[in-house]
Amino acid sequence: MGLTHIYVASAVGIALVISIMSCNQSILKSDKVDYNMLRYMLMIVGVSCFFDAVVFTADGRPGALCRIANMVGNTVAYMATISLCLLWDIFVIFHLYGNTSRARKWSGIISIPAIILFISALINLFYPIVFIIDENNVYKRTPFSYVYVLISFCYILYSAYIHTTFKNKKHVRFFPIWVFLFPVFIGFIAQILFYGLATGWVGAAIGLSSAFMSIQKESAFIDSLTGLLNRAYLFSSRLYESMHGGMMLDINRFKSINDTFGHDTGDIALKEVANILSEATSERGVAIRYAGDEFLIFVAEADNAVLLEIKDKIIQELSKLNRQHDRKYQLSLSFGIGLYDPSSESFDEFVKKLDTNMYYDKEQYYRSHERLSRRKSERTETNVFI
């Protein structure tokens, strides 16, 4: 392939990266772990498109500068490829399961092969185990280089597995994973099979562009404050049709948090509860921000034991949170649990049943905490128990 093809492909890839960054500022400025992974992936793709042009230009040309460019550029390419695949997996895990302990554990475990290969690429600068730059400054792969291909392929398959099992567990529809994987897979396979064909990184740029478009569409169904699914998703997807058990939750005395400490602190409390619900439903169940400080959890099983298990997890996580030092307030929740039989009741009737059960639980809470009457002003209290 001529260098003109290489330069055009690299320029297209860089242009796509710049366009994505310009049109998705709200996503890229977010502090969410999954969106951070996307930001890093964009940076990797942009840098790699540049170095793709560098290595093809330097390959086979004499001179120390070209040799250094060939060595450094190919090293960057190997590190970037394995890093991109790893970050994609971490993105999928956190995007689907949220910032939970399980997601963090998975991410740590799957990072091990990538770290080993990353280090191997650095070692290759001094000892050729991955690729060789011969005396004519021509790049040649070693057999070990195909380990990178194998591990990268495994990462891609694993992301598809995570996506499939998540949908099977929770019946939640998210962006189609193949919008990213297909152009990436085709681009890199073509480049591996036909050296000189610069399709790998431009394929990655196209995949990221498709992923960002899907995420923008998906954002309409994600609560911007808590990161949970919102009420719009609940009714648009008719998620409840595949669910047979549910729970409504409400933060006790949430108004006093806002009144005493301000709405910014109230927002923090909502995020804390959302994180706890994500943690408790990471294996089974779907958490939704329903309205204000009210949340819903749905499970596929028509089994009170499953709901009570999730409730126990929530209470345990709340207890851990409340034991943290220097907290201004303590959090507690009221719960309304019930089973859903669509043959005998409508969804609205089911939610009303959950709401009734929750307010019964809330009444019990206030009866046992009479000194915390909702009518009592607490602006002078230093510690509020919610």
CA distance linking residue 130 with residue 177, whole number of Å: 30
Using alpha carbons only, give the angle 220, 284, 90 rounded to the nearest 5 degrees: 60
- Digit-by-digit pLDDT tens for the chain (386 residues) are 578 878 888 899 999 999 999 988 888 888 889 889 999 999 999 999 999 899 989 999 999 999 999 999 999 999 999 999 999 999 999 988 888 888 999 999 999 999 999 999 999 999 999 999 999 999 999 999 999 989 999 999 999 999 888 877 777 777 677 888 888 888 877 777 776 667 788 888 998 998 888 888 888 888 888 989 999 888 888 888 888 999 999 999 888 888 888 989 999 999 999 999 999 998 888 999 998 999 999 998 888 999 999 999 999 999 999 988 788 888 999 999 999 988 889 999 999 999 999 999 988 888 887 665 544 433 333 333 33
Q: Say what the pLDDT of residue 101 is.
A: 87
Each as own residue / partner, the long-range contacts of residues 2-6 (CB below 8 Å, 24 or more positions apart, any chain) are: 3/56, 3/57, 5/197, 5/198, 6/52, 6/53, 6/56, 6/57, 6/198
CATH number for the segment(s) 229-385:
3.30.70.270
Q: In this predicted structure, what is the pLDDT of residue 187?
A: 80
Q: pTM of the entire structure? A: 0.83
CA distance 329 to 327: 6
In the prediction, which pLDDT does 108 show? Answer: 95
Query: What CATH class is the domain 3-221?
Result: mainly alpha
Q: Please state the separation of Cα 230 from the chain's center in Å.
A: 17
Take residue 376 and report the two structure tokens written for it.
């009592």
| Structural domain boundaries in the chain | 3-221, 229-385
| Predicted local distance difference test score (pLDDT) of residue 373 | 52
Residue 291: CB atoms within 10 Å = 10
Contact in structure between 87 and 40 (CB atoms under 8 Å): yes
